[in-house]
Amino acid sequence: MRIRGIHLGPLAVLLTFAGVLAAPATAQAATSWTTLDFPGATATYANGINSSGTIVGDYVNSNGTADGFLFRHGTYTTLAMPGASSTVPLAISSRGEIVGSYLLPSGHQYGFVFSHGTYTTVNVSGSQFTNADGVNSRGDIVGIYALTKGAFLGFVLSNGTYTTLAFPNAIKTIGVGINSWGAVVGSYWTTLSDVSGYLFSNGTYTTLAVPGAAGTVPMSINSRGVVVGTYYNPSSIFNYGFVFRNGTYTTLNFPGATDTQLNAINNRGDIVGAYEVNGVAHGFVLTHTP
């Protein structure tokens, strides 16, 4: 199953991670999991949730392309960038600002902000593509761009100014989550196959790595500093979710699923993501953390 938000190139080219290990503590079973399936979709991914519980994500339609959705008060609303062949909302702030990425028929990919009914393109000047992956309550945006093919860098866009994120000595860096304090989480590569997570706060990078995992991919951080994401081990074919809180990693998986990814956590501790059963991806919301 694909990992939310890591669109390193056209939307159809998505990184896939796999894994299983027993190193982190395993969360106790929760009873508040709710499946999210967009009507008529062949796959659904819940990507972001704000403090009001409004959810954004994307779904695969009958022709195999991705369209976006907003889910609020039990109702799905389609989100589509005008003129785009594919739209993927990735995060929503407490103010209701939505960010994500869209793909044009020409193959060019850009980020977007959707606010008060208007779509605005996010594009790092001179980049081959730009992805807007996270947004906080102040309107700061975190994302990914590439000036040349494969040379991925993260960015923070604040008050109209782009600041690059580049983990020291890494060959690739991406930024995907930002909280109200401006702390950023993302991933970096030291080789083409060696991926670890990071926290960037007050000008300092700190590595985030699930003990024993072959790769760790943080996706979101809330205002309390709780991080959620996915880890993997190449000896298996599955993804597993994790919660990082107060220095401790805890595995968190959708009950009965073969594959789980945690994509976002809001300030109440509600988590959204996706899981897979019998090869079909479904979105979910967990209304309380373990």
Residue range 38-61, pLDDT digits in tens:
999 999 999 999 999 999 999 998
Q: What is the pLDDT of residue 287?
A: 92
Q: Which pLDDT does position 200 carry in this prediction?
A: 98
Does the pLDDT value for residue 168 go beyond 90? yes
142-170 per-residue burial string, b: 16 or more CB within 10 A, e: under 16: bbbbbeeeeebbbbbbbeeebeebebeeb
Is the confidence at residue 7, as pLDDT, over 80?
no
Cα of 69 vs its chain's centroid, Å: 15
pLDDT of residue 30: 47
Predicted model pTM: 0.90
- Give the residue from 134, 133, 105, 110 showing the smallest Cα distance to 122: 110
94-136 confidence digits (pLDDT tens): 999 999 999 999 999 999 999 999 999 999 999 999 999 999 9
pLDDT digits (tens, 9 = 90+) for 220-247: 999 999 999 999 886 776 899 999 999 9
Q: Name every residue whose Cβ is closer than 8 Å to that of residue 58 and which is 6 or more positions away in sequence.
A: 44, 45, 47, 66, 67, 68, 69, 87, 88, 89, 100
Decide if pLDDT at 179 tops 90: yes
pLDDT confidence of residue 62: 87
Q: Which two tokens stand for residue 223?
A: 């205002």
Record the tokens describing residue 118, joined without a space: 């208007």
Residue in 183, 215, 245 with CA at minimum distance from that of residue 25: 245
What confidence score (pLDDT) does residue 15 get?
38
- Could you report the per-residue pLDDT of 195-225, keeping only the tens digit for each? 999 999 999 999 999 999 999 999 999 999 9
Sign of CA dihedral 137, 94, 80, 34: positive
pLDDT > 70: what percent of the chain?
88
CA dist 151 and 190 (Å) reads 12
Classified as helix, coil or strand, 182 is coil
Q: Which residue has the tokens 């028929």?
A: 105
Q: pLDDT per residue over 73-84, tens digit each?
A: 999 999 999 999
What six digits make up the tokens of 185? Answer: 């989480």
Which pLDDT score, from 0 to 100, does residue 205 have? 98
User: Please, what CATH class does the domain formed by 25-286 belong to?
Assistant: mainly beta
* The pLDDT value given to residue 66: 92
Secondary element (H or E) of residue 174? strand 172-178
| pLDDT reading at 91 higher than 60 | yes
